[in-house]
Structure 1
Amino acid sequence: PAQGEGQRLIITEETARVRPHAVAAVLRNITFTKERYDSFIDLQEKLHQNICRLVRALVAIGTHDLDTISGPFTYTAKAPSEIKFKPLNQSQEYTASQIMDLYRTDSHLRHYLHLIENKPLYPVIYDSNGVVLSMPPIINGDHTKISINTRNVFIECTGTDITKAKIVLDIIVTMFSEYCEKPFSVEATEVIYPNGKTHIYPVSTLLTRMCLKSHVIGNGNNIEIEIPPTRADIIHACDVVEDAAIAYGYNNIQMTIPKTYTIANQLPINKLTELLRLDLAAAGFTEALTFALCSQEDIADKLGMDISATKAVRIANPKTAEFQVARTTLLPGLLKTIAANRKMPLPLKLFEISDIVVKDPNTDVGARNYRHFCAVYYNKSPGFEIIHGLLDRVMQLLEVPPSEENGYTIKATEGSAFFPGRCAEIFAKGQSIGKLGVLHPDVITKFELTMPCSALEINIQPFV
């Protein structure tokens, strides 16, 4: 700040359960032309579409004419009936509830309503006089609308991901600080959290252009590179090398034989999978290859399970209802394949050997893959003996004898997807590896099938 205290943004406890994070900055003495102004608005839309995710789930950007408001600013949450202001480009004031109804049919804003409409409190930003700046992530207030004549811009980014919020703020101030009276400078804003901790945003005081500045240092064998704040994707030296390779052109790099000798080898799990595929086909079963993503209904409701019990990895922003989660079982994919091929002559005998994905907090990515084998027999009679025989054949191929001690056994159990009294759990290598049995009529009906069906699914990972 040129004089006195800088701007402050105070976050209250009420926002913690809605959108807990916020960052802010000020661009002073900026000069807009029509082209610059249009570009400024376009940049915000592009950031909302990519880094912020299409539905502003991670970050929502608000830009305001600082000369129309006075700090400090308060980021809080209130009941919808208590929030009243004139939304951007509207002629009258509305309560927050009325605003949600107003934009329910809006082709652009209706996609964001679900982020807060079921919350008891809505997030809102006020200035020191009670003027509403915005109700993130839905709409800004008309009072603070920027125009081509705006000289000082207050930028706030609220959201659920503090890292993404900082990246978005850095990109905006880096690109448009060029048009400030003092080019490439930004006025920092102090953000005060409910616990009393304060943070200054953005971190950089002097912003660089959108490029990688570099110069030779030392004896000429080292290069020092300056990373601009907009390049949040650069986290390691190898990222810089990749940029250099792209600039040089991958096709221009001369191919050479590596100086170290390595012997390539197939992963054991993949080798086992290939061998099993051949023998399962020889046993009269046809291989299917289904999608790794499916709907929540496929792995939960249709199988008589609750989605919370599946440990499924959810897709944050699914494009369709068919691809909401990563599959936790191969069975739904095979049943959907049978449903799509009901006109084929009976019996239908399908199998698949592919990965399933479940949450695992002990891994660095929070999830783990398991290689599963699943087989389904669909006919006028259940054919449990055929599926049981296939299990015996698979164990024979894996050289696991039918034995209590060092082999495999099956024990009667119950499963939500199976007919009562027609389900067995399979044990091998001292652990439960899967189930087999006759599917429950409700499961068959939910997958639009009309005849009995037997299924087998095991984890083949322990046999590698």
Structure 2
Amino acid sequence: MPTIGVEKEDFLRRTGIAKSVTQLELEHLFFDLGLELDDIEEENGKTIFKVDIPANRYDILCIEGLCRAINIFNNKTPDKYTLEGSPFEKIIVEESTAAVRPIVMGAVLRNVTFTEASYESFIDLQDKLHQNLARQRTLSSIGTHDLDTVKGPFRYVARKPEDIKFVALKQEKEMSAPQLLEMYEKDSFMKQYVPIIKEKERYPLILDSNETICSLPPIINGEHSKITLATKNVLIEVTGTDWAKTNIVLDTMVTMFSEYCAVPFKIEPVEVEYYSGKKEITPSLKYWEECVDPEYIRRQIGLPQDVTAETMAKLLSRMGLVSSYIRYENEKIISRIPPTRHDILHPCDIMEDVAVAYDFNKLVMTMPPTNTVAKQLPINKLCDLLRVDVAAAGFCEALTFALVSRADIGEKMGFDKLPAEAVTVSNPKTAEFQVCRTGLLPGLLKTTQANRKLPLPLKLFEVSDVVLKDNSTHTGCRNERHMSALCYSNTSGFEVIHGLLDRVMELLEVPPCEAGSADGYYIKKGSSPTYFQVCADIYLWNEKVGQMGVIHPNTLKAFDLPNPVSAFEINLEPFL
């Protein structure tokens, strides 16, 4: 949940709230709007309200949007955002950008008057959108330019890194693109964005008609067109890989800061001309209507019968969704959604706004109309019973991370490449958490490595989920419950692991049987780069469910384990 800081005097001036307001009254005000006053701090002699904002409310990530929402909640008429006239500026997109960052949109704010506070808010909103909606600039990134320092039409191109040279923002000398990325890799803030384009053959650029480089998305803007307090005309360009996110980012930027234009809330569009001949006018600033059944809202929230459909429509209007109640064959509430409310995706979002405006504290607690008796999932019950008996056999339970590095399930386990069934994290925070684990054994080996100085033998086990790709599910992956155990000692301890497997099968009432039989379980010689020559496949009812054996010396070396290890891992799902 993002947190924004708003200066008290500016906040009270914009909302018309009395200066004598108490902290308790502010807490109630924010709560009524579905927000939370997290703290009140003193910074440089100013009182700052720290307000927690829901992650999907991009329109109140700055003081402009927050105060606007509060004023509307207090029955002020919402402002109307409009596009003014035909596009005076154009962005021409070259085909070379398709392989790097194919989407670009733009808008112009004319005759803007910035103060120090509004300028800081302008920059801060960009940062919050980059971190939140734009996923650290991977989906979209914002570039802002002093339009009076550059000349259109603008071109969106992609060039080889060695052919790019310009003076980047806050720099004094001209540098090539590789030099810039090398410098930013050492910067604590900028280094997170460098990998987005570093390995690309070409880097995207925004150029003006004089070939002046305005920005190198998504890394940095140019010093030549930087925004200052004296800037009057602002060009906002947003590039990205996701059209919807790029559109939301641009709509949010222009609706929030068009209030500083000479004619408030008037935005000048920009024409984007693609290499295919397609032309697009941006921003969209789309108003749309959503139709909701008031009985659906009443049923989902639990509103009393005296809250009429007309009352619901008024509550929605206080949330910025101008609504009317229409009566015909089927009673409906029609809500007009402004371009600031991209969080409204479904009637349930409108229902939520009714609940917020009505006040959650007023809802009467009721018992559910149906009675059910809860019980454990069969797989969880089985695992809980199994854990007790495995611990009784002398093994200590471990709980390891579900996310691991690529090397943990690939190179270290003896494989040439990442397993095909591995689910990868698209934007990992650290190298330790890049993929979802496909087995429990790597985590147990890491746990053993961290505790190798303890007295031997170390006998560990884990019963938990692994994640595997599965195109038959709507998410493209599925969880699978596994059990793994290992013995780390001065000798291989294979007989210990084999004995534990037999004990587990006994507990599960699965008898041993001859190889090839479907009457129980058996082991059969197998092979795996993870295990040494002593390796066996484990079969249940003639279907392979796991492997066991002595860990290969190369795997031991990769996990920095000087002593031998024996281990097994089985899939528990077939036992149900």
Which of 437, 442, 445 lines up with 2:549 in the alignment?
437
Q: How do residues 238-387 of structure 1 correspond to structure 2 at under 5 angstroms? A: 238-246=348-356, 250=360, 252-387=362-497
Please report how far the alpha carbon of residue 47 of structure 1 lies from its aligned counterpart in structure 2 after TM superposition: 1.8
Please report how far the alpha carbon of residue 454 of structure 1 lies from its aligned counterpart in structure 2 after TM superposition: 0.9
Which of 424, 427, 433 lines up with 2:536 in the alignment?
424
Which of 526, 529, 545 lines up with 1:413 in the alignment?
526
| TM-score, normalization by structure 1 | 0.90
SS of structure 2 residue aligned to 1:142: coil
Q: How do residues 145-160 of structure 1 correspond to structure 2 at under 5 angstroms? A: 145-160=226-241
Aligned position for 2:112: 30
- The count of corresponding residues between Structure 1 and Structure 2 is 462
Please report how far the alpha carbon of residue 218 of structure 1 lies from its aligned counterpart in structure 2 after TM superposition: 2.4
Q: Does 1:213 align with 2:213?
A: no
CA contact 1:185–1:205 (8 Å) conserved in 2: no
CA contact 1:84–1:94 (8 Å) conserved in 2: yes
Please report how far the alpha carbon of residue 42 of structure 1 lies from its aligned counterpart in structure 2 after TM superposition: 1.7
Unaligned runs of 5+ in 2: 1-82, 289-316
SS of structure 2 residue aligned to 1:143: coil
Please report how far the alpha carbon of residue 138 of structure 1 lies from its aligned counterpart in structure 2 after TM superposition: 1.9
Q: Does 1:461 align with 2:573?
A: yes
Which of 111, 134, 139 lines up with 2:220 in the alignment?
139
Q: Specify whether residues 24 and 326 from structure 1 end up closer, same or farther in structure 2 by C-alpha distance, changes over 3 A only.
A: same
CA contact 1:302–1:446 (8 Å) conserved in 2: yes
Bigger drift between 211-220 and 35-44 goes to 211-220
Q: Does 1:168 align with 2:168?
A: no
Q: Does 1:39 align with 2:121?
A: yes
Please report how far the alpha carbon of residue 30 of structure 1 lies from its aligned counterpart in structure 2 after TM superposition: 2.7
| Distance (Å, rounded) in 1 between the aligned partners of 2:168 and 2:146 | 15
Please report how far the alpha carbon of residue 445 of structure 1 lies from its aligned counterpart in structure 2 after TM superposition: 2.6
Bigger drift between 436-445 and 209-218 goes to 209-218
SS of structure 2 residue aligned to 1:315: coil
| TM-score, normalization by structure 2 | 0.74
Unaligned runs of 5+ in 1: none
CA contact 2:286–2:339 (8 Å) conserved in 1: no
| Distance (Å, rounded) in 1 between the aligned partners of 2:203 and 2:390 | 57
SS of structure 2 residue aligned to 1:204: coil
Please report how far the alpha carbon of residue 141 of structure 1 lies from its aligned counterpart in structure 2 after TM superposition: 1.7
Letter in 2 for 1:456: F
Deviations 1:235-291 (A, max 9, x none): 222233334445555555332111123332322221221122222223332211111
CA RMSD across the alignment: 2.8
Q: Specify whether residues 231 and 215 from structure 1 end up closer, same or farther in structure 2 by C-alpha distance, changes over 3 A only.
A: closer
Letter in 2 for 1:327: R
| Distance (Å, rounded) in 2 between the aligned partners of 1:337 and 1:91 | 50
Q: How do residues 38-77 of structure 1 correspond to structure 2 at under 5 angstroms? A: 38-54=120-136, 56-77=137-158
Q: How do residues 52-201 of structure 1 correspond to structure 2 at under 5 angstroms? A: 52-54=134-136, 56-201=137-282
Q: Specify whether residues 3 and 293 from structure 1 end up closer, same or farther in structure 2 by C-alpha distance, changes over 3 A only.
A: closer
Identity of aligned residues (%): 53
Deviations 1:414-453 (A, max 9, x none): 1111002x11112224532111111112222322222221
Deviations 1:180-211 (A, max 9, x none): 2333232333333343333332222579x994
Aligned position for 1:8: 90
Letter in 1 for 2:572: I
CA contact 1:186–1:206 (8 Å) conserved in 2: no
CA contact 2:494–2:549 (8 Å) conserved in 1: yes
